[in-house]
A and B are shown apart, each in its own frame.
Chain A
Amino acid sequence: MTKDQCRKLVIDIIADIAPDEDLTAVKPEVRLRDQLQLDSMDFLDIVMELRKRHGIEVPESDYMQLASLDSCAEYLTPKFQAKAS
């Protein structure tokens, strides 16, 4: 799992949760909340979909790590790698 793949995977989840958002031009370094209309219910769904689809647990104290696509990749990629190994 590369960071690029990880970003793609998070985008896939957002696309399913918020199909009414245009995700073609999401800037990876900018906070998701600042470029998309995502509320706390949507962020909770990202966390729950990560667990459902990939068995990845994100404790509440780490939710801020999911702020942007880059920070998601930074935080989640090692978790995916740990799972794969």
Chain B
Amino acid sequence: MKDSHYDVAIIGAGMSGLAAGIRLAHFGRKVCIFERHNAPGGLNSFYSIAGRKFDVGLHAMTNYVPPGVRGTPLGKLLRQLRIDREEFALCPQKRSRIAFRDCDLKFTNDFAVLDGEVTARFPSQADGWRALVQLVRTFDDVSLEAKPVAAREVVGRHLTDPLLTDMIFCPLMYYGSAQERDMEFGQFVIMFKALYLEGFARPLDGVRVIIRTLLEKFRQAGGERRMKCGVARIIEREGRAAALQLDDGSEVTADHVISSIGYPETMRACEPPHAAEAEANTGALSFCETISVYRQAPATWGWGDDTIIFFNDSDRFDYAQARELVDPRSGVICFPNNFDYAGGELAEGFFRVTCLANPGKWCALAEPDYQAAKAHWLGEMQRSARRFLPAVDDGVLARNLVTTDMFTPRTVRKFTGHLNGAIYGAPRKVRDGRTHLSNLYLCGTDQGFLGIIGAMLSGISMANYHILQKSAT
């Protein structure tokens, strides 16, 4: 058993696990991160096909504030991880849009733009809107003890127009809700701040810039990382996580275990497994995403400067598991070319479309049917998204097209281990990160801080709260 005992073992090398690891290693803990996949990043990772780099997960980093704005999640995160802002090389968005059948609302990293759009298009809602914004600004969204309240109910006290309500909810749900049709109000506040009061940014080279910064900090702090080395079992004894059995059959022990793999996934990994608890809190929401690569930037043929477009054409926005393989009625368009790269630009044009999907149906398909379904839905999703873009001749797109790729819930499940490919995890979050075992804590998506900045803050908070603060006193 030599060299196999750690102060802290972290399961998963995603954003939250890496952030927790950096904090703990920086303050002298002997830490090891165990990751089953060969690439770090978890739900926000990257891959290459034929030498071309793709991001998966990240459309835009939310919570962006310009240099000098302090006291927001981005600033907290940079301080806590001792990261210089420049290292993330963030470039702000140009502008985004919520596009419903008969109404558009523009928003940018300046909240006054959305504020003006809402009050101009929905004058009867202006007072309620201002009251809602005030409530969001003053709400304690990082409390670890907050009681859950339904956001639809709270928002309904201020906004009475269903169209405006749906338009405000749409981006917040698409960028973080694990719950169908509603959100917990604390999560609504986190997302409202992250998207509307703060904003979007992206490094020119994508999410890998952020992941590499985290890996380098973790290495410098003395942390250990074992890739292609998943944790198969968390062995319980006397109310504690007594040992971790790795995929290769060997065992390690740790004083504390932080799991970033999700609530139901963690419950199922426990030995004995807690199948009923896992079953009762497993996410059902997953997505398909298509990526088209073009020779030129989409603005060249008139698709404009929008960075992200959240679209919907049904009477009421229906954020729920798709009944068919994909629900193309609503979705998200991302043009990674349309960030303000301060003189730099991407070498090729990218057009990404994301829609709600049905994980059970995707996972049940036999291989040839799976490939055929991907090809079919790639076309359908793009057709649906293009209804919300200026019309462009099919021939122009076809001549410019270099390649396409697509992920489905099945892809997400395969590479991240998330049951149902549930990108936003379990519907009920575990805010204080506690589990039935006294030395096993959750961090990441299922602890409930959202987005990639939220994921990193989750790892930081759980490391501070359960480990560093306890020994500081």
Contacts A37-B71, A41-B80, A41-B464; A20 near B473 (Cβ below 8 A): no
- A48 near B76 with CB under 8 A, answer no
B468 in the interface, Cβ–Cβ < 8 Å?
A: yes
Do the beta carbons of A47 and B472 come within 8 Å of each other?
A: yes
Given A39-B71, A44-B469; A19-B27 close (CB under 8 Å):
no
Counting contact residues on chain A (CB < 8 A from B), the size range is 10 to 19
Interface residues of A in 25-77 (CB under 8 A from B): 37, 39, 41-42, 44-45, 47-48, 51-52, 59-60
| Cβ-based interface call for B376 (8 A) | no
CB atoms of B468 and A48 under 8 A apart: yes
Note all chain B residues with C-beta closer than 8 A to A48: 27, 468, 472
1/0 contact trace for B1-37 toward A, CB 8 Å? 0000000000000000000000000111000000000
Chain B: residues with Cβ within 8 Å of the partner, total of 20
B82 at the interface (CB under 8 A from A): yes
Let me know if B387 is at the binding interface, CB within 8 A.
Answer: no
B76 adjacent to A19 (CB under 8 Å):
no
Return the contact of B70 from the options A37, A47, A52 (Cβ within 8 A): A37
Chain A residues with CB under 8 Å of B79's CB are: 17-20, 41-42, 45
* Measured CA separation A37–B70 after assembly (Å): 7
| B472–A39 touching, CB < 8 Å | no
Chain A residues whose C-beta falls within 8 Å of the C-beta of B228 in the assembled complex: none
* In the complex, A4 has a CB within 8 A of chain B: no
Chain B residue contacts of A16, Cβ below 8 A: 82
**Most chain A CB neighbours (cut-off 10 Å) among B27, B468, B472, B473:** B472
**How far is A59 from B469 in the complex, measured between Cα atoms in Å?**
11
Question: A44 CA to B473 CA in the complex, in Å?
Answer: 10
Once the chains are docked, how many angstroms separate the CA of A25 from the CA of B472?
Answer: 30
| Contact flags A9-22 to B (C-beta < 8 A → 1, else 0) | 00000001111100
Is B386's CB within 8 Å of the partner chain A? no
Verify if B84 is at the interface (C-beta below 8 Å from A): yes
Interface residue? B137 (CB, 8 A): no
Does B472 lie within 8 Å of A44, measured CB to CB? yes
29 pairs, A vs B, C-beta closer than 8 Å: A16-B82, A17-B79, A17-B82, A18-B79, A19-B79, A19-B84, A20-B75, A20-B79, A37-B70, A37-B71, A39-B76, A41-B79, A41-B80, A41-B464, A42-B79, A44-B464, A44-B468, A44-B469, A44-B472, A45-B80, A48-B27, A48-B468, A48-B472, A51-B472, A52-B26, A52-B27, A59-B473, A60-B472, A60-B473
